[in-house]
Amino acid sequence: MATVVLRNLAHDIIWALLALGTSLTILTPSLSSLVKNTPFWPEAGGFLVITVLPSVLVWSVFGLKGLKFRVPSALCCQVIVTVLSMALFYLLSDAREISGNETRVALLGFGVFAGLKVLDFVVVKFCRACLGKGKRVLIVGEGLQAEFMEEFISGNSNRFVLLGRVPSPSAHVAASSNPNIEAADGKSNRLLRMAQNFMADQIVVSMAERRGTFPVEELLSCKLNGIEVLDAPSFYEAATSKLLIENINPSWFIFSHGFKVTWLLRQSKRVTDITASTLGLLFFLPLLPFIALAIKLESPGPILFRQTRVGEGDKHFTLMKFRSMRQNAEVSTGAVWSQENDPRITKVGNFLRRTRLDEIPQLLNILKGDMSLVGPRPERPEFVDKLKELIPYYSERHYVKPGLTGWAQVCYPYGSSVNDAIEKLRYDLYYIKNISFFLDLYVIMKTFKVVLLGKGR
């Protein structure tokens, strides 16, 4: 994940620099007179940085890929950020007499940047269309998990082409999406010949029982002949950015890459948490009296809502939020999951939840060390005890501090059931497996998108 984030960010920065270089080249004749007599370049340099950096970040979050052809929305976000950046620089600049030329550079740079990004998007789509639908995949295995992988690959036909499924080394090829696949003989290179004949890019191994039936020599021959061989959990993780917990055993956790939360990583996250929560509290400080007054005027009860949650190491702590429900909302029902359009939520509370302003007091939890800025969302002890019995590896999400936001929150919509808890656990374990500074940064950027577009929890 860190590699993906860096690659995407570097890609956007390269386009931005190319756009700015083009803009400066076009405007060089009109700017040359200013260079001789005014300190233009120091001012312009600062202006370009303060304009382009937010634009690149906004495009990365609201880019064409994430909005799925919703180009106007992405361009509107870019325009807003650019205009605000220009206004800020104009107010702070001591050389306002040359701000008009700087504005021309910024606007032209933005226009070229947006045009290059659209062109880049069109070229990528064209290349994908010319090169085919996606990777060609052959499944080796049988049972429920192999059938699940077959359904998953078939359901993602825009990314993968399902060639078929081999139930076992000595069995015939099962029925598949490609009716041309026929049974092959039982020689040792049967799987390799089959994969080569149908030009397989990947072989996904999903076997419920491997003792005595695992085709070591055949899979090794495929790997040595340039065909990628993956087990089902690794393939599923790479394809979905979450873990296939039903097909994972304890040894997979031990021997797989990741799940390495070092002392240095914990300390760097703590420094980031303290800095971010302090700045956040200072930023939202002017809003706090108005939020408190609105809550108090609409319904009786305390302004802050306190509730016991399960944190790192299964330790309990008191989570704080602005109260968004009527007082004593669970007196008659007991502990229940909140639902969408929950009748217990007040009008002010509904607004606070939609804008995530009800989460502001959790910045105090972060300062205290009970929570982190990014991590699995903390759950109530009543639900944790139940989920531990129903879901394998649920306790593993408590190896890190819970977060104000998390990978599950930006990837999965609002959930209020055991099935939703399973899906969110897939994302939480993926986060713990791939935890890094760059993944945290990516989650924070995605969180802004979720909040502004009203998606997720």
* pLDDT digit string, tens, across residues 367-425: 999 999 999 999 989 889 888 888 888 888 999 999 999 999 888 877 667 888 888 99
Per-residue model confidence (pLDDT) at position 22: 60
Within-domain flag for 253: no
Structure tokens at 408: 């599950």
Query: Measured between alpha carbons, how far is 99 from 95 in angstroms, rounded to an integer?
Result: 7
pLDDT of residue 203: 92
Q: Which of 197, 225, 240 is the last residue of a domain?
A: 240
Whether residues 288 and 428 share a domain: the answer is yes
Where a domain ends, among 131, 154, 186? 131
The CATH number of the domain where 233 resides is what? 3.40.50.720
* pLDDT reported for residue 432: 92
Which residue segment(s) compose the domain that 384 sits in? 263-453
258 within a domain of the structure (yes/no) = no
Distance separating alpha carbons of residues 23 and 47, to the nearest angstrom: 14
Number of structural domains the chain divides into:
3
Q: 182's torsion region: left (phi>0), alpha (psi -120 to 50) or beta?
A: beta
Q: Is 248 a domain residue?
A: no
Establish if 93 belongs to a structural domain: yes
Q: Which of 447, 418, 443, 417 is nearest to 430 (CA)?
A: 443
Residue 252 within any structural domain of the chain: no
Position 105 scores a pLDDT of 58
Within this chain, do residues 342 and 398 fall inside the same structural domain, yes or no?
yes
397 and 287 assigned to the same domain? yes
Is residue 245 included in any domain, yes or no?
no
Predicted confidence at residue 71, as pLDDT, reads 46
How many Cβ atoms sit within 10 Å of the Cβ of residue 196? 14
> Does residue 161 sit in the same domain as residue 122?
no
Nearest in space to 365 (alpha carbons), one of 396, 320, 399: 320
Are 297 and 436 part of one and the same domain? yes
3-class DSSP string for the chain: CHHHHHHHHHHHHHHHHHHHHHHHHHHHHHHHHHHHHCCHHHHHHHHHHHHHHHHHHHHHHCCHHHHCCCHHHHHHHHHHHHHHHHHHHHHHCCCHHHHHHHHHHHHHHHHHHHHHHHHHHHHHHHHHHHHCCCEEEEEECCCHHHHHHHHHHHHCCCCEEEEEEECCCCCCCECCCCCCCCCCCCCCCHHHHHHHHCCCCEEEECCCCCCCCCCHHHHHHHHHCCCEEEEHHHHHHHHHCCCCHHHCCHHHHHHCCCCCCCHHHHHHHHHHHHHHHHHHHHHHHHHHHHHHHHHHHHCCCCCEEEEEEECHHHCEEEEEEECCECCCCCCCCCCCCCCCCCCCECHHHHHHHHHCHHHCCHHHHHHHCCCEEECCCCECHHHHHHHHHHCCCHHHHHHCCCEEECHHHHHCCCCCCHHHHHHHHHHHHHHHHCCCHHHHHHHHHHHHHHHHHCCCC
Same domain, 195 and 222: yes
**Contact status, residue 416 vs residue 339, Cβ threshold 8 Å:** yes
Do 36 and 185 fall into the same domain? no
- Quickly tell me which residue has 């860190």 as its tokens: 2
Q: 299 and 445: one domain?
A: yes
Whole-prediction pTM value? 0.72
State the Cα angle at 371 between 253 and 354, rounded to 5°: 105
Enumerate residue ranges in the chain where pLDDT < 50: 34-36, 40, 64-71, 94-98, 170-187, 456-457
pLDDT at site 121: 62
Instruction: Look at residue 442 in the predicted model and tell me its pLDDT.
Output: 85
Residues 233 and 267 grouped into a single domain: no
34 and 74 housed in the same domain: yes
CB crowding 291-325: b at 16 or more within 10 Å, else e: beebbeeeeebeeebeeebbbbeeeebebbbbbbb
| 75, 83 Cβ separation under 8 angstroms | no
In a domain, 255, yes or no: no
CB contact burial 235-262 (16+ within 10 A = b; e otherwise)? bbbebebbbbbebbeeeebeeeeeeeee
Query: For residues 393 and 389, what is the distance between their CA atoms, to the nearest angstrom?
Result: 10
Identify the pLDDT of residue 375. 94
Q: Which of 112, 131, 150 is the last residue of a domain?
A: 131
Same domain, 269 and 362: yes
In this structure, the answer to whether residues 35 and 89 fall within a common structural domain is yes
Tell me if 254 is assigned to some domain.
no
User: Which pLDDT score, from 0 to 100, does residue 411 have?
Assistant: 86
Give me the residues paired with residue 202 across strands: 137, 228
Predicted confidence (pLDDT) per residue in 50-107, tens digit: 555 666 665 555 554 443 434 455 555 555 655 665 565 555 554 444 455 555 655 6
